[in-house]
């Protein structure tokens, strides 16, 4: 048993965990803020660092692949044999901006170790996903000279910007990225129980602008004869839902399919906890929404349409008798399986256009969109992840359905046509906030988890 390839790999990882962490700091020092053009060269430098590390480890075809946005990094090792599965390992190396900078105890790109925690921007979101997979590869390769499965790595540089050019990129490289499963390693959990994402919702964001007269007018001179754009905003916004919260956009629910039994069981199991947590976070006792569904269903398994902001007319103190020239609002719609964001964007546009009249001009602009997705939580691939955690941590991972959106998951499912499983490889907190940290007591276990997963996939 001690001489098995798995044990040899784990032994290598355990012997090198200190040097792994030292090396991790070099990647953390590169300020790869993907959303800020001022850091363009640093983003590329981070991509180049990863390519160089891949080459050092014996990962083949290591290269930067250009996108229309930030560079992606690819590498593979495909010598496990034709019968062995091929896994596509995904993480992102771009990081969130760092402001407010004065709230950081130590600078965000000067990794600092305090009380067993490593502080740096991106340390858990998501350079950890990149680095832990590379160290798992290194451990298995150094110990055995080969891997039990074929692996492909794809590391993104624009996740924190919403992956705007990744769908076209994946389409263009679909043959190169072909695999049996995509493993998403983005973030992790904030306590000592590892976490698997079970679902994400898709999203469509849009803005509606309504134009009336050429300039703001006096309501005394023109009230009653000029159509007021804010009235139209109120009319459209008021028509989005019925009194119980059902969305009134024609055809909006047409493609929604009921969640699987396994996912439904997850919703049920987490229902009480989800309500308690929501009460704490919102300060509300009573919640809202379509009464035909439970809280857990409404929060993760049903689509939404929320107005995020309304503008128009005078917002200052006291009265001002203005008849505004324009008004508008912004919406975000969260989508669930198997809604198509393009279809929903069309239906929303048609709904707004149905209010068209001779006296106002209505403009709809779709701002962004992404697919909803469910990830694997049962079956052999999910079991390979669950057992990797269970063996390492002595307990099963927490599976959580999410109400938010991770665009890349739907892209892998829809463009590559492969299943996706989530495997978080970080323990810590403050992602997207000052003083992001990784609790290093769990760094080794996360490398172990990634190693176990490769061997579990080979069985
Ligand atoms: Zn992330």
Instruction: Beginning with the edge strand found earlier in the chain, give each strand of the sheet holding 428-429 in spatial order.
Output: 112-114, 117-119, 437-439, 428-429
Give the distance (Å) from ligand 1 centre to CA of residue 248: 34
Write the pLDDT tens digit of every residue in 119-130: 999 999 999 999
Give the distance (Å) from ligand 1 centre to CA of residue 127: 9
Give the distance (Å) from ligand 1 centre to CA of residue 334: 19
CATH architecture of 202-256+303-370: 2-Layer Sandwich (3.30)
Give the distance (Å) from ligand 1 centre to CA of residue 95: 8
Write the pLDDT tens digit of every residue in 255-295: 999 988 989 999 999 999 999 999 999 999 999 999 999 99
Give the distance (Å) from ligand 1 centre to CA of residue 159: 7
**pLDDT in the model for residue 2:** 59
Closest CA to 228 of 311, 318, 310, 322: 322
272 forms beta bridges with none
Write the pLDDT tens digit of every residue in 190-231: 999 999 999 999 999 999 999 999 999 999 999 999 999 999
pLDDT band at 403 (very low <50, low <70, confident <90, very high): confident
pLDDT band at 3 (very low <50, low <70, confident <90, very high): confident
Give the distance (Å) from ligand 1 centre to CA of residue 121: 11
Write the pLDDT tens digit of every residue in 142-190: 999 999 999 999 999 999 999 999 999 999 999 999 999 999 999 999 9
With a CB cutoff of 8 Å and minimum separation 6, the contacts of 210 are 229, 232, 233, 312, 326, 327, 328, 360, 361, 362, 363
Sequence ranges of the domains in the chain: 5-200+372-458, 202-256+303-370
Domain 5-200+372-458 has CATH 3.40.630.10: yes
Give the distance (Å) from ligand 1 centre to CA of residue 111: 18
Total-model pTM: 0.91
Q: How many CA atoms lie within 13 A of 189 on its CB side?
A: 16
Q: If you average pLDDT over every residue of the chain, what do you get? A: 96
Give the distance (Å) from ligand 1 centre to CA of residue 19: 25
* CB-proximal residues (5 Å) to ion ligand 1: 125-126, 186
**pLDDT in the model for residue 459:** 79
Q: How many CA atoms lie within 13 A of 366 on its CB side?
A: 16
Give the distance (Å) from ligand 1 centre to CA of residue 188: 9
Give the distance (Å) from ligand 1 centre to CA of residue 23: 21
Give the distance (Å) from ligand 1 centre to CA of residue 126: 5
């Amino acid at each position: 048993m001690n001489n098995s390839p798995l044990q040899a790999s784990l032994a290598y990882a355990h012997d090198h965990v200190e040097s792994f962490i030292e090396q991790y700091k070099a990647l953390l020092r590169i300020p790869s803020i993907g959303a800020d053009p001022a850091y363009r060269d640093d983003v590329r430098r981070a991509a180049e660092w990863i390519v160089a590390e891949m080459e050092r480890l014996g990962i083949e075809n290591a290269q930067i692949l250009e996108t229309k946005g930030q560079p992606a990094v690819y590498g593979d090792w495909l010598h496990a044999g034709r019968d062995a599965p091929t896994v596509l390992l995904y993480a992102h190396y771009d990081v969130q901006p760092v402001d407010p900078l004065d709230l950081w105890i130590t600078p965000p790109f000067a990794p600092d170790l305090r009380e067993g925690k490593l502080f740096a921007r991106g340390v858990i979101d998501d350079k950890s996903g990149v680095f832990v997979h590379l160290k798992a590869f290194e451990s298995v390769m150094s110990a055995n000279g080969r891997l039990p499965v074929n692996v492909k790595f794809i590391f993104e540089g624009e996740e924190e910007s919403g992956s705007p050019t990744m769908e076209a990129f994946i389409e263009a490289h679909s043959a190169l990225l072909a695999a049996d499963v995509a493993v998403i390693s983005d973030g992790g959990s904030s306590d000592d129980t590892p976490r698997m994402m079970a679902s994400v919702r898709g999203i469509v964001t849009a803005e509606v602008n309504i134009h009336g007269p050429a300039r703001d007018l006096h309501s005394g001179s023109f009230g009653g004869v000029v159509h007021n754009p804010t009235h139209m905003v109120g009319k459209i916004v008021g028509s989005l839902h019925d009194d119980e919260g059902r969305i009134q956009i024609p055809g909006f629910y047409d493609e929604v399919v009921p969640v699987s039994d396994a996912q439904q069981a997850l919703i049920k199991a987490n229902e009480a906890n989800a309500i308690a947590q929501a009460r704490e976070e919102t300060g509300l006792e009573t919640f809202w929404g379509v009464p035909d569904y439970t809280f857990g269903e409404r929060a993760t398994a049903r689509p939404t349409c929320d107005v995020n902001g309304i503008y128009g007319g005078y917002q200052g103190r006291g009265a001002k008798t203005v008849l505004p020239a324009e008004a508008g609002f912004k919406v975000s719609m969260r989508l669930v399986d198997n809604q198509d964001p393009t279809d929903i964007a069309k239906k929303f546009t048609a709904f707004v256009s149905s209010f068209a009249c001779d006296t106002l001009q209505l403009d709809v602009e779709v701002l962004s969109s992404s697919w909803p997705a469910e990830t694997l939580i049962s079956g052999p691939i999910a079991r390979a992840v669950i057992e990797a955690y269970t063996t390492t941590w002595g307990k099963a991972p927490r599976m959580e359905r999410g109400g938010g959106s991770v665009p890349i998951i739907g892209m892998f499912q829809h463009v590559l046509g492969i299943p996706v499983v989530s495997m978080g490889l970080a323990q810590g907190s403050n992602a997207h906030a000052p003083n992001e940290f990784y609790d290093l007591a769990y760094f080794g276990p996360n490398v172990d988890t990634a190693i176990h997963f490769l061997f579990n996939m080979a069985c």
